[in-house]
Each structure stands twice: as C-alpha cells, then as structure tokens.
Amino acid sequence: MLDARIFLPTARRTLFQLVACISAFTFAQVEHSEAQSPTRALQGLFCNASQQIDDALGHMRKGLSPREAVGLVNHDQVVCTFVDKLHYVVDRPVVIQEIQGSLPLYKYEGTLVAVIVGSAVRPVEPAVRIFFAIPERLDHAPIVGRA
C-alpha cells in the first residue's frame, strides 16, 4: 500500500506527521481528588500561552518538526514543550479554538495538575494554567471562545 504522505508538500507532510503522531497517543481518564470532572492524561503540544501554540503551529506549517518548532518558540525562554514520552494530566480542559485546515486541530486551555512518568504520577504543585493542541475533540470538554 502506498503512503500518501510521500505525495504531500513538505510543510503539509510535517503537519500530517504531527497529527498522526499525536493521534496515536493514548487519552486516559485519571482521577484527581480536587476535581469533580475527570482529568485527562495527554500528550501533544503544550505552551504557557495561546499565542505560543499558534506560533509553534505556524512553524510546523512551514515544514518544521514539532521539536524544531518548539525550539524556535523557546528562543528566549522555555514556554512550550512537545510531550510525547510522558503524559501531562490536565484538569477541566475547555476547547478555546478549532483550528481549521486539511488537518484540523483543537486548541484547549486547562490546568496542569500532574505528570505521569512511566507508572509514577508526579503532582504539579501549585497547579499551572496551560494551553495545548491535539487533533481530538475531548469528550465532555466545553467549548468557549472562538471554537
């Protein structure tokens, strides 16, 4: 079977690889003692601000890998990370934007409450407001903003 990605232009192929990579990740529900709603164990592109997500995605649309794009956004200080070897546990994620395109993504805002490394759950204290982008629309995540 032919891989359609070889026929895509470089920028589009890189974005396709990002979405395919993120799509392969597991989205598990994790209990969090302070939250009434379930939290999510996620992998993907995480940043301190919504605009930083947009900046990283812009670099990826130009053909950079997720790691290269994050490196450019992190030029002055570390504000973004591409999480693919561990999971971030996010409480109460909300959709703030659906990013249209040939490979649509959802941009979320939530609260980072823990990191899962292997089977160990490491709490993040104090919890941190965080933004992230993934191709899936999470169940029970309300839509706010420009979505």
Residue 19 pLDDT > 70: no
Question: 15-19, 23-27, 86-90, 131-135 — which is least confidently predicted?
Answer: 23-27
Q: Does residue 135 have a cis peptide bond before it, meaning omega lies within 30 degrees of 0?
A: no
Beta-strand runs (E) in the chain = 28-30, 39-47, 80-99, 105-117, 120-134
Residue 111 burial (CB count, 10 A): 19
DSSP 38: P
The predicted model scores a pTM of 0.72
Q: What integer pLDDT is reported at residue 78 of this predicted model?
A: 96
Q: pLDDT value at position 3?
A: 38
Q: What is the SS3 assignment for 62? A: coil
The rounded distance, in Å, linking the Cα atoms of 40 and 57 is: 22
Give residues with Cβ within 8 angstroms of 142, minimum separation 6: 94, 95
